A and B are shown apart, each in its own frame.
Chain A
Amino acid sequence: MRLLTHNMLSCNIKGVSNGFPLRLEAEKWVEKEVELNADFLRGIFPKIEWKALAGAARAIGYDQLPDEADASMLDSDDFLRRFHHALLELHVEEGALVCPETGRRFPINKGIPNMLLHEDEV
């Protein structure tokens, strides 16, 4: 699971009003290089919840993202590289996503988060 996917996901347990962002507990992750697409990064930047991305990146030991970001930073190649790396090149293989409100853990195995809800959570 890439951090871009993490940035979209929220907890959907019935009654939870503040299920985003899911806290990332990473036990195992891998890096896979992909070509940087600056147009894509500029296009998706406004949709990214920056604090969630920076927090998730830190959870897997990547601390090269600033705490805050605004669109003017997209002119910097250095910023784009870091943004690209965090968003698309880090893959969480094993770990869990934890609901910030209820503490419910959604395990990640072989890169796939298990977001199935129990009957009493629907």
Chain B
Amino acid sequence: MKLKQLEGLLGSLQQFSNPKVELEQYPTGPHIASRLLYMAENTFGGISGKVVADFGCGCGTLGIASALLGAEHVIGIDVDSQSLEIASKNAADLELDIDFIWCDIKNLGWRDQSVNTVVMNPPFGTRKKGSDMEFLSIALKVASGAVYSLHKTTTRDHIKRTALRDCSAKSAEVLCELRFDVPQLYKFHKKKEVDIAVDLWRFVP
């Protein structure tokens, strides 16, 4: 599938109808999601024929993109049941079979290294400090191949240090810098729309 085609399909997905600020629910835009998955697949062969987990899947964008690129089995996990309902519907609309689990990532009971790849757009930890690192440390336990994740560029040094030192990642590299469009979703957003710099990371457990 071509990048533009993937981006187009992801653009058709339904997004959060009532986003919850405490969960830092921001839709992963089609531009950024298609690039993350395209790189994971075309540069590293991490998606097609693999077991892929989408941590904090929200409306399912990254998991659905994985399924579209030929993942053998995709599991989306989220703590918010409304998001999972939308995600299920999004997957069904594209005739994709994706398993969803209603669970808080930090309480996930999973056998170690049970999936090949984790893809995620975690909460950046702006509302609840450290939640991004919580996601990462668990992702690095359950993945046997690699973790692809988005984090704010301003936290780059901190992420690298934490991944290598506290989560015992073998490697942590920034693949590229992207712009994350944040539409005016919440009352505390003063500006109509801003974009923030985020890094696309690849971590090897």
Residues in A lying within 8 Å of B, measured CB to CB? 1-2, 4-5, 7-12, 19-20, 32, 34, 37, 39-40, 44, 47, 49, 88, 91, 110-117, 122
Contact = CB atoms under 8 A, between A and B. Distances in A.
A20 B109 CA distance: 9
B99 A5 contact: yes
> Which of B88, B104, B108, B109 has most A Cβ within 10 Å?
B109
A65 to B, nearest CB: 18
Interface stretch (B72-80, B149-157, B173-181): B72-80
Given A2-B73, A37-B49, A115-B102, A110 B88 contact: yes
B110 A8 contact: yes
Contact of B102 (A4, A10, A113): A113
- A-B interface, 10 closest residue pairs, ranked by CB to CB distance from nearest: A12-B109, A115-B103, A8-B114, A10-B109, A5-B99, A114-B102, A112-B100, A40-B72, A117-B107, A8-B110
25 contacts: A4-B99, A5-B99, A5-B101, A7-B111, A7-B114, A9-B101, A9-B110, A10-B110, A19-B109, A20-B109, A32-B97, A39-B49, A44-B51, A49-B111, A88-B73, A91-B97, A110-B88, A111-B88, A112-B84, A112-B100, A112-B101, A114-B102, A114-B103, A115-B101, A116-B79
Given A112-B102, A116-B79, A117-B107, A8 B49 contact: no
A113 B109 contact: no
A105 to B, nearest CB: 14
Contacts of B142: 8
B65 interface: no
A22 to B, nearest CB: 9
A12 B114 contact: no
Given A34-B97, A88-B73, A47 B102 contact: no
A10 B84 CA distance: 20
